[in-house]
Structure 1
Amino acid sequence: MRRTAARIPGTTALLALLTATALTAPCPGAAAATATALTRTAAGAERLAVVSEAVLNAEVDGTAWYVDRVGGRVVVTADSTVSPAALAELVRAVGPDAPALTVQRVPGRFTPLLAAGDAVYGGRYRCSLGFNVADGGAHYFLTAGHCGNVAATWYADGAHRTAIGPTLASTFPGHDYALVRYDNEALDHPGGFTSAPDAYVGEAVTRTGSTSGTHTGTVTGLDATVRYTGGGTVRGLIQTDVCAEPGDSGGPLYEGDKALGLTSGGSGDCTTGGTTFFQPVNAALAAYDVSVY
């Protein structure tokens, strides 16, 4: 099974260096100010964690949220199924910390992007191959967990004539990743990815899926939690403004030769745009002890 992806070179790094010297005595006033700032930072992070947990406990389907530590806020995105009353109840659940919320609305419904069509087929469903991975001499591919949950065996065609192999493991909800083994030696399984780092806010990314093809966009949030309408809650997701459509589930999110995520779900389409969430691929690699190549 052959997959090619456009390459966009790029990398990012964050370096923090703290130094001290015995030759220069620290200024007591500066030290006190630093300690106060650190205390406020810690208190702010704790407050945002409490707000995020309150949003989770409100249990409003069709919402997604992440902590913006730089802006000091919890950003909540609500799809079209969330009524004004439900949104007001969510705000009330946060209580006196409600000013730390930023609420935005998007059209459509937050759902896992599962559909029938082409690409990789299991049962009566179609999903998208994510990344080919390996463990020693054995080869596998990653896809979305909500895809792995519905099919024990995957095929390269809708008629189920060309078998790929079985679903070995699948997790959804909570996380959203699955591992499928290549049992058909006649199928090609090329690589092309050299690493699987963490994504970062503002990163220019590309997504490929079996329904809508290849589209680009930007990472808008990290460690997002989404309550899919009727589909469970998933934590730790990458939030983006890249469009996606049903059947794109499991497809890869990447930057150049860096593997970043697996398409989980979202709202909208590639005509009007939308919000899409991705399972970080490094979490799946760690869970299954496999590597991209």
Structure 2
Amino acid sequence: MKHRRIFMRKAAVAGGAVLALVAAGATFQSANASGNTEPFTAKSLSAVAAGNLASTLSEDLGQDQAGTYYDARTKSLVVNVVDETAAQLVREAGGTARIVRNTLAELTTVRETLADKATIPGTSWAVNPVTNKVAVTADRTVTGAEWTRLSEVVKGLGAKAELKKSAGELKPLLAGGDAIYAGDARCSVGFNVVKDGEPHFITAGHCGQTGSEWSETAGGEPIGTMVDSQFPGNDFALVKYTGSTPHPSEVNLYDGSSQPITGAGEATIGMEVRRSGSTTQVHEGVVIGLDATVNYDDGNVVHGLIQTTLCAEPGDSGGSLFVDDTALGLTSGGSGDCSMGGETFFQPVPEALSVFGAEIG
């Protein structure tokens, strides 16, 4: 099997990253916003509650909003909007409103242009609500004519996009926390779930094919069979337990303890999160992008991913992304490692549960 950098463990959060996001937001508001927010007191929210409010406001505002992020310092949800009418709705709901230049429709058009003209292996893009632009990343393999092409496309998008270079390589990480094996592949369990009253677990789709058998040790007795695997496009898989293996709804913290998981939720930009995987164990980081498109080095493209500052390494793939007792994502891939640092992308858990008809349990 081709060696891929697919992660299955949890990564560590850079303590200053959220403050950096907040600082960037304040700078942007004074430099690029078309209007300032009126003084008011926003609701103090947990990261999960902020994510729930973001989902509600997204439905209510539609094209009048242009992204949200969580301010961990003030514990408030910041919502980008395009006019004062929408701003007032945000304030009434308890959020902080920022009136910005680039609309959601304009940023969506930017993403479509990138998909049409710059689908190059080793690149990714996602809307960054703090800068109100689409953040485009190219790894170190993007050079020569491909780098020139990408640079020209981004330059043509003007103030709606920005380009940065990554020192690592964007790869799926093949190798929730505990290790699982199938042949030469090692991945990590994401979360234990229940489907049709039967115990299963979810992991990354790139880890294996439907029908593959998985064990707790290399060459060990199978504990489950992969009944559905989706990759590329998505990156999630469902494995049905076939034996009497214990399957508590918790994540291994690799310090002799575990974190109970009671449900699934949506990630929010600025949210401080943790990752658990079988190679690098537990790390912490910050969510910096949502609905990200990633063009992995093997040519496979995955959409709708959570982008974070977490590190991960081969074998961490499929592992758990979570905040407190809420499941957020499954480790897909990224660039860098846990020595030099990097970025890691995660498949959102709510989408996987919806497709499989399963629930955390």
TM (norm. structure 2) is 0.68
Contact 2:226–2:237 (CA<8 Å) still a contact in 1?
yes
The corresponding residue for 1:11 is 48
Runs of 4 or more above 6 Å deviation: 35-38, 40-43
Question: How far off is 1:151 after superposition?
Answer: 6.6
Residues 78-111 of structure 1: CA distance to partner in whole angstroms, max 9, x if unpaired? 1110115323312433574233211111111100
Q: Distance in 1 between matches of 2:150 and 2:242?
A: 48
The corresponding residue for 1:108 is 168
Q: Distance in 2 between matches of 1:260 and 1:35?
A: 32
Deviates more, 1:134-143 or 1:261-270: 134-143
Considering Cα pairs closer than 8 Å and 6+ residues apart, tell me whether 1 or 2 has the greater RCO: 2
Deviates more, 1:66-75 or 1:188-197: 66-75
The corresponding residue for 1:208 is 276
Residues 1:10 and 1:45: Cα distance change in structure 2 (over 3 Å): closer
Residues 1:231 and 1:132: Cα distance change in structure 2 (over 3 Å): farther
Contact 2:126–2:134 (CA<8 Å) still a contact in 1?
yes
Q: Distance in 2 between matches of 1:35 and 1:184?
A: 57
Give matches, 1:227-242, under 5 Å: 227-242=295-310
Match of 2:137 among 51, 61, 77: 77
Residues 118-163 of structure 1: CA distance to partner in whole angstroms, max 9, x if unpaired? 8200121100010000024300000000013387111111023x21
The corresponding residue for 1:189 is 247
Q: Distance in 2 between matches of 1:127 and 1:197?
A: 23
In percent, how many aligned pairs have the same letter? Answer: 45
The corresponding residue for 2:33 is none
What is the count of residue pairs matched by the alignment?
Answer: 267
Q: Distance in 2 between matches of 1:87 and 1:54?
A: 16
The corresponding residue for 2:311 is 243
Match of 1:87 among 132, 136, 147: 147
Name the SS of the counterpart of 1:11 in structure 2: helix
Q: Distance in 2 between matches of 1:52 and 1:146?
A: 24
Contact 1:45–1:69 (CA<8 Å) still a contact in 2?
no
Residues 55-89 of structure 1: CA distance to partner in whole angstroms, max 9, x if unpaired? 11222110111012453211011111011532331
Any unmatched runs of 5+ in structure 1?
19-32
1:12 partner letter: A
TM (norm. structure 1) is 0.84
Structure of higher CA gyration radius: 1
Residues 1:124 and 1:247: Cα distance change in structure 2 (over 3 Å): same
Contact 2:305–2:348 (CA<8 Å) still a contact in 1?
yes
Residues 22-60 of structure 1: CA distance to partner in whole angstroms, max 9, x if unpaired? xxxxxxxxxxx757999x979722221111111112221
Residues 1:50 and 1:196: Cα distance change in structure 2 (over 3 Å): same
Any unmatched runs of 5+ in structure 2?
1-9, 11-45, 62-82, 89-98, 250-259
Q: Aligned-residue CA RMSD in angstroms?
A: 2.6
1:45 partner letter: L
Matched, 1:169 2:169: no
2:354 partner letter: A
Contact 2:205–2:231 (CA<8 Å) still a contact in 1?
yes
Matched, 1:64 2:124: yes
Q: Distance in 2 between matches of 1:96 and 1:89?
A: 11
The corresponding residue for 1:24 is none
Name the SS of the counterpart of 1:168 in structure 2: strand
Q: Distance in 2 between matches of 1:10 and 1:54?
A: 32
Contact 1:148–1:179 (CA<8 Å) still a contact in 2?
no
1:196 partner letter: A
Q: Distance in 2 between matches of 1:36 and 1:134?
A: 40
1:176 partner letter: D
